[in-house]
Structures are given as C-alpha cells and as structure tokens.
Amino acid sequence: MGKLSGKSAIVTGGASGMGRGVALCFAEEGANVAILDRNEAGAKEVAAEAAASGVKTVGLACDVGDEASVKSTFAASAEALGDTDILVANAGIDTTELIENMSTEMWEEMIRINLNSIFYCSREVIPAMKSKRWGRIINFSSQLAHKGAPLMAHYCASKAGVMGFTRSLAYELVEHGITVNCINPGPIDTPLYMGIPEDWRREKEASMPIKRPGRIEEVVPTVLLLASEEGSFYVGASMNMNGGDVMV
C-alpha cells in the first residue's frame, strides 16, 4: 500500500519537469493520476510511464489559463479517474524583460497562466473535496515571491499572488478537511529553467549559498508529504526548498 493508495490526483504542467516528477511519484505511491499539459503528446507519454506502476492514468491537453479549457478537462479527468482528491497546480511559464520594455501582452500572459490558473483549477475541485471532507490542494509559487528579481516583475507578481491565494483558500477550506499549501522552489534544473537566458541563470546560481540549481528529486518528496495523511497539519504553509536563496 502506497501513501496515496485509493486517491485520484490531477497534476498540471505534468508533461515535463517537476510536474512529471510529481506525477510519477504519485503513481508509485498508488494514486490514479491525470496529467494535464498544453503538450498533449507529452502528457500522454507521462501517463503511459505512470501507468507502469499499476494505477489508472490519463494524459489530457489543457490550457490552464483558459476557464473553459479547465472546466472541460477537469470533467474529463473525473470521468476517467473519479473525483479529484489531490490537485497539484504546477503549470507555469517564465520570461524575462525590463518593466519599461514589457508589453501588456507579456504581462497579461504571465498572470493568465501563473495566477488565473490557480483560481480556475482550485474552483473545479473544491465541491467534490468538500463532499468527501478530504482534499489536498498544492500550488507552485516561487522563492522569488519573497524577494523579487530584476527582469522578472511579472513573474514575481504572479507567484506572490499564488502565495496570497493559497493562504486565503486555506482559511476557507480547512474546516472541511481540505488542506491548501504552496511549494516555493528556487531554481530547479527543468526545461522551464533552462529556457531562461544563460547569463541570468549563471548570475543567479553564483549568488546562491549552494551555488547550483536544485534537482527535481529534491522537490518531489515535499509535494508527496503535503499530499499525504502525514501532511495533515500543514495549512497555508509555504515550503521553501531553494538552496538558501531565501531563508525564511
């Protein structure tokens, strides 16, 4: 029996990086897993990998920043796997630009994908979790929500919003047996991180006490903790695995 046996989970942004790592871990721990991503082929590939653990899986295309896409995809997940017990809202984007040069379109796309999505996804799973009086919502924020960063005001604003939303929702749901927490990783060696300009990455790593990006396997155990019964006393928490970049 795994720590998540009998549970059904949705992992957004699950086709690669931390989302993929979480989805495979959850499957190994006995959860049925829906992998959502704009990259449908990638989502289906990870679903096939996860199914090797002997659980039910499904890979679905979803634009988490689009309300209609979230509604239809979450309904498809429920049809395939049953009501969602665990939501891991991991999907996100990352770009860089000076505020004075930033287009309105770049700003709005960041907020749409990184922040609006948290609202859309959470809203879809709450009714079923309330009916069961059990649920886990785990949102991905960032250590930059604490400290900010040059060229990344839009990203930092979106992630600070995730943190505030998480705390507010935690207050609303804890009496129903549902915990809401967020993960605030520092730089992690993922395709998203590697897409940031190299000079920015090198400067960031040089400034960190640990002098390197984190690894996916250094983040996933914390997500599993928050998703399991062992994480039941974490309410509105911000889990900061960031190599010392922000010490809080």
Residue 64's nearest CA partner among 55, 56, 72, 76 is 72
Q: Which helix (H) or strand (E) holds 18?
A: helix 17-28
Residue 89's nearest CA partner among 107, 109, 70, 68 is 70
Tokens representing 139 are 């949102």
CA distance 186 to 184: 7
Neighbours of 17 (CB within 10 A): 21
Question: What stretches of 31-167 adopt beta strand conformation (E)?
Answer: 32-37, 57-61, 86-89, 135-140
CA distance 182 to 150: 23
Tokens representing 145 are 């929500």
CA distance 170 to 136: 10
**What is the full DSSP assignment across 179-239?**
EEEEE---SBSSHHHHTS-HHHHHHHHHHSTT-S-B-HHHHHHHHHHHHSGGGTT--S-EE
Catalytic residue among 155, 171, 193, 234: 155
Catalytic residue status for 155: yes
What one-letter code names the amino acid at 131? S
What sign does the CA torsion over 18, 152, 212, 181 have?
A: negative
Active site residues: 155
